[in-house]
Amino acid sequence: MSRIVAVDTSTALGSVALLEGERLVFTSERRLSNAHGESLLLAMDEAMKHAGWTPRDVERWAVGIGPGSFTGTRIGVATVKGIALGTGREVVAVTSFEAVRWGLVAAPDEVAVSVLPAMHGEVFVQWGDAEPLHLPLATAPQRIGQEIAHGRLLIVGSGGPLVDWDSIHERPVRLVNDAPHDVPHATSIARVAAQRTQSVEPTEVEPLYVRPPDITLPKGSS
């Protein structure tokens, strides 16, 4: 049975999950005020000790690549890449959109749309394999309604309640934003990774920002 360690640090809810075959061996979640830099390795070490695993016992590492917190996501990605490179193991990159949709069954007439907070009065949006978008809250429902011409909208994720869906009265909308469909959880990322037939080289894994990262220029820069 394959052993998977999954990590997500794309939100304030940092999480680690260990999966062996279909069995969830261990999971931990901690809501933090920092960007996970001080806590991620400790959480991973705790999980591995609980299971009695070493890094070389893990066949596949899985990491949430966002979108979400720019700094938090970078920490998770860099940590997993470093461990995978050091142990020669494979990596699966899982987006926040995939994670919140995992395990949710849409009705035949529904189109599942992942909607996550993006700050700055925007949300990150994706449905199916479409190109991810970042949309202003005010125009998100109209844009989604235009892009998805038919079907009931199944809105998944903690960004859903931020949007005024009443502005598209002609489209039925169902909101799902309870755990584990609120934000990315390592347990969901592990399940997605277990179903993947292909992994990637650790050096190829990069955060998915969707919009340009926030950059604070030094004082005096122009």
Q: What is the pLDDT of residues 19-64, one digit of tens each?
A: 999 999 999 998 876 666 778 989 999 999 999 999 999 999 999 9
52: in domain: yes
The pTM score is 0.91
Check whether residue 87 and residue 10 sit in a common domain.
yes
Domain presence at residue 170: yes
In this structure, is residue 218 part of a structural domain? Answer: no
For residue 107, is it within any domain?
A: yes
- DSSP track, the chain: --EEEEEE-SSSEEEEEEEETTEEEEEEEEE-SS-STTTHHHHHHHHHHHHT--GGG-SEEEEE--SS-HHHHHHHHHHHHHHHHHHT-EEEEE-HHHHHHTTPPPPTTEEEEEEEEEETTEEEEEETTSPPEEEETTTHHHHHHHHS-SSEEEEESTTGGGS-GGG-TTS-EEEE-STTSSS--HHHHHHHHHH-S--B-GGG-----SSPPP--PPTT--
Q: Is the pLDDT of residue 169 over 90?
A: no
**Whether 40 and 57 share a structural domain:** yes
Inter-residue contact 92 to 60 (CB < 8 Å): yes
pLDDT for position 217: 41
Per the document, the length of the chain is 222
Mean pLDDT of all residues in 136-142: 95
Residue 214: is it exposed, middle or buried by C-beta count within 10 angstroms (0-12/13-18/19+)? Answer: exposed
The pLDDT of residue 170 is 76
Tell me: pLDDT of 149 over 90. no
- The CATH number given to whatever domain includes residue 141 is 3.30.420
Q: How many domains does the chain have?
A: 2
State whether 80 and 48 are in the same domain: yes
Judged against a pLDDT cut of 70, whether residue 221 lies above it is answered with: no
Averaged pLDDT for residues 124-131: 95
For the ranges 12-16, 88-92, 195-199, 215-219, the lowest mean pLDDT is seen at 215-219
For residue 89, the enclosing domain spans 3-97+183-204
Residues 23 and 85 in one domain: yes
Indicate if 93 and 40 belong to the same structural domain: yes
What is the average per-residue pLDDT within 13-17? 95
Say yes or no: 187 and 172 in one domain: no
For 193-213, what is the mean pLDDT?
90
pLDDT at residue 213, as a whole number: 67
Mean pLDDT of the chain: 91
Sole residue written with tokens 């039925």:
172
What is the per-residue pLDDT for 32? 75
Q: Are residues 72 and 121 in the same domain?
A: no
Residue 1 has a pLDDT of 66
CA–CA gap between residue 92 and residue 65 (Å, rounded): 10
For position 74, which CATH number holds? 3.30.420.40
Q: What percent of the chain has pLDDT over 90?
A: 79
Determine phi and psi for 15, rounding to 5 degrees. -145, 150
Q: Are residues 148 and 49 in the same domain?
A: no
Residue 127 lies in a domain: yes
